[in-house]
Amino acid sequence: MSGHTPAVLELDPRFAPRRRYLLAISGGRDSVALLHALLEAGSTKIVLCHLNHQLRGLFSVHDAAFVRELAEMHNLPFEITRFNVQRRTEIEHVSIEVAARRSRHEFFAACAKKHRCDNVLLAHHADDNAETVLLNLFRGSAGLKGMRFESSLLVDRKKLNLVRPLLNVRRSAIDAYLSERSIPFRDDASNEDPFTARNKLRLEALPLLREIMDRDITPAIVRAAKSSREDQDALNDLLEVLELVDPQERLFLPKLRDLPEGLQRRALFLYLQDSGVGNLSNDLILRCLSMLELGSPAKVNLPGDLHLRRRASRLFVE
């Protein structure tokens, strides 16, 4: 009788286990599973980075304590801090999700500077990716845009390299991995509460779509996003050849006006994204696009108290 082969988590083949990384770890199932998969792959140059959002009372305190225990158990360096995310939502007039994301990014940037390491590991998986594709589609901001194995982010003039080794792994595989190894983790009950758009998609919309189609739809969503990304990469390459941005990091209007509207939209989207502008909705891109017209307003308000301005045949963010 052959022995049972335990479930394994296949890390993306592009992942380099010998490099140094910061690991964003909440203490939840996904990030804990990623930590154990990294250790099994021989990745030992890891700094555990945990931000207490102070949103769950004592549960948040226990999450931080759990991460500290994990770090000490595996003899790994760690960074644990806390931030009042709720207060940030009130000051900046943004949602809890946006405030939490900004706080995490600033925390990662601080950790990157302290440890001289720009590579941040995130535990996003294939089901997260499908949810992201649908969120972006319904927001109308970037078509079928999903997550990438590797992407960059500029925070406080610090460039972070975000790496997602589990992006091809399903949530069910993570659950099996943790269960078969009896690996403990912290369960966030708020994940089962449909109070955010992402939670509603995961708990209500996606199960209904699976029922309607009578099959698992996640692979099809991820494949569609991959195909769309390849098309967008081709457009990005074309726009780079056109050199629309001048040495002062401003968009050159005469060149931009000569392009078809589809390329203009893509150029504006990429420029705003590269300038650190978040929440790029379709409506916002259209308002920015109107600045190409003669006699139109020379300023458009952007998220984060930023503005897109037109001056001397240039567009720029300030």
DSSP state of 201: I
Indicate whether 189 and 247 sit together in one domain: no
Residue with tokens 């960059």: 152
Is residue 258 one of the residues assigned to a domain?
yes
- Report the domain count for the chain: 2
Indicate whether 274 and 161 sit together in one domain: no
Indicate whether 279 and 191 sit together in one domain: no
- Find the Cα–Cα–Cα–Cα dihedral 138, 144, 149, 153, rounded to 10°: -60
Indicate whether 167 and 31 sit together in one domain: yes
Q: Whole-prediction pTM value?
A: 0.80
Cβ contact 26:186 at 8 Å? yes
- Residue 190 clears pLDDT 70, i.e. is over it: no
The domain that contains 172 carries what CATH number?
3.40.50.620
Q: Which residues lie across from 159 on neighbouring strands?
A: 154
- Residue 208 clears pLDDT 50, i.e. is over it: yes
Kindly report the average pLDDT of the chain as a whole number: 91
What is the span of the domain harbouring residue 270? Answer: 243-317
Please report, for the chain, how many H helices and E strands are present, in that order. 12, 10
Indicate whether 99 and 30 sit together in one domain: yes
Is residue 146 one of the residues assigned to a domain?
yes
Is residue 211 one of the residues assigned to a domain?
no
Residue from 143, 39, 51 nearest 105 by CA: 51
pLDDT tier, 2 (very low <50, low <70, confident <90, very high otherwise): low
Indicate whether 105 and 250 sit together in one domain: no
Reported as a single tens digit per residue, the pLDDT across 120-163 is 999 999 999 999 999 888 876 567 889 999 999 888 888 999 99
Give the contacts of 122 (CB within 8 A, at least 6 positions apart).
24, 162, 163, 164
pLDDT at 191: 66
Is residue 275 one of the residues assigned to a domain?
yes
Reported as a single tens digit per residue, the pLDDT across 291-308 is 999 889 999 999 888 999
Domain C-terminal end among 140, 171, 197? 197
Indicate whether 53 and 184 sit together in one domain: yes
Residue from 121, 103, 150, 149 nearest 41 by CA: 121
The domain that contains 286 carries what CATH number?
3.30.465.60
pLDDT tier, 1 (very low <50, low <70, confident <90, very high otherwise): very low
Indicate whether 116 and 248 sit together in one domain: no
Domain C-terminal end among 197, 231, 266? 197
Domain C-terminal end among 172, 197, 222? 197
Cβ contact 104:139 at 8 Å? no
